Amino acid sequence: MRIKLSRTVERTFFMLVGVAVALSVVILLRQSHRTNDVVMGEETAGRIKAAKQSTPSAPSWPPCQRNTSMAHNVTGFSSLPAQIQDHLYYRHCRHFRPMLDVPDKCGGAERSEDVFLLLVIKSFPGNYERREALRKTWGEERLESGKHIRRVFLVGTAGSGFERQRLNELLGMEQHEHGDILQWDFNDSFFNLTLKQVLFLEWMDRNCPHVHFLLNGDDDIFANTDNMVEYLLSTVNAKEGNSEHLFVGYLNIGMIVIRDPPSSKYFVPVQVQESDSYPPYCGGGGYLLSGYTASVIYNMSKNITLHPIDDVYMGICLAKAGLKPAHHMGVMTFGLTVSSIKIDPYHPCLYREILLVHRFMPLQNYVMWHKVIDPNIKCGPSDFTL
């Protein structure tokens, strides 16, 4: 006997069939994901997990509006270079929307004491090659002498329109693969490096408060991180790195504020800083500091107006706290000088004992690192003189 179904019953029947098929597909996909997690291994699965956890861990902040009163209240404002005007317009801005985050980079705030050295590298959104070279060389996350090394890159935003979109997509892809990008929604420029630094310190206070030591540097440095771990282990505060003061690099003392020419990258007018000299500070190309000192600088920064030169600002915060930076002969932010034109300035034996050298491009970083760690390279004690 043939049963004739009403249209309502037919619709209900096919709807139920569709739901059953959809549920079956979902179940199969979930099983597939579980299988893939096993096949890909813990490392890859961990990176994907980190990328999925890249949601902002900080509160959401509204866009910061420029202080238009500066144009009327600051003497000679209209005659200042555009970058100085922008700095004065926006230097009150301390909070920006996080776009990419890795809140579990240190294993969570409570477990951050397990991180011995955190590599904090200031980068520009388009500097993909530099970041990749560092990831594959001295910036690799690893255990060195039984100590955990971790890595983050600090970036803002750049460009406009399609270019800005492409750069943000690039950073998102890097985040998915490596889980090492901290990005905020502010214009990435030279005069905003101080802002980038303060935003990181706020992030660290929230996510990595107990990390022992930090390397703070640019993405065009060569850093012998093996030597850094050895040096930090030899310091008196190695075991208590997050509770003792340490700030070492290439020390600048008695530096005069550049007032002329206004076109200089480091030009700072009296409208920004009245005094004619800077407190002692270490060159921003790269320096080492303890977790304790980073925390002190962060707390000082809350009540100190942002300065356009980031390394100077660190020195200002240290001075306010009554702490002093120190010089380390192994940190060469002005490059390495050889004693003879007959010596190759990029000979690996020259770099085996140093901590850090500024102005290294990706190719130089990649080649130098693999030569420096090569156990077969022999270096005589009298062959090279720095």
pLDDT, residue 245, reads: 94
Separation CA 86–CA 98 (nearest Å): 21
All structural domains of the chain? 70-331 (3.90.550), 334-372 (no CATH)
Strand (E) positions, the chain?
98-100, 115-122, 142-144, 147-157, 181-187, 213-218, 221-223, 247-249, 251-252, 281-282, 286-290, 326-327, 331-332, 356-358
Pairing assessment for the beta strands 115-122 and 147-157 based on DSSP bridges: parallel
Separation CA 13–CA 6 (nearest Å): 11
CA dihedral 43, 181, 119, 265 (to 10 degrees): 160
pLDDT, residue 238, reads: 55
pLDDT, residue 235, reads: 85
Other CB atoms within a 10 A radius of the CB of residue 6 amount to: 8
pLDDT in tens, 223-237: 999 999 999 998 855
pLDDT in tens, 19-61: 444 444 334 434 433 333 333 344 434 543 444 344 445 567 7
| Burial (Cβ within 10 Å: 0-12, 13-18, ≥19) of residue 53 | middle
**Helical packing angle, 310-321 and 193-207, nearest 10°:** 50
H or E stretch including 226? helix 225-234
Which 8-state DSSP code applies to residue 23?
H
Contacts 24+ apart (CB under 8 A), 318-323: 318/247, 318/279, 318/280, 318/281, 318/293, 319/279, 319/280, 321/296, 321/297, 323/245, 323/247, 323/293, 323/296
pLDDT, residue 236, reads: 57
Record the pTM: 0.84
Nearest in space to 123 (alpha carbons), one of 159, 165, 154: 154
Separation CA 13–CA 24 (nearest Å): 17
pLDDT, residue 341, reads: 78
Which residues of the chain fall below pLDDT 50? Answer: 1-10, 12-45, 47-56, 386
Separation CA 146–CA 199 (nearest Å): 30
Pairing assessment for the beta strands 281-282 and 356-358 based on DSSP bridges: unpaired
Q: Are 127 and 219 in contact (CB under 8 A)?
A: yes
**Helical packing angle, 310-321 and 291-301, nearest 10°:** 90
Q: Tokens in use for 381?
A: 């004690």
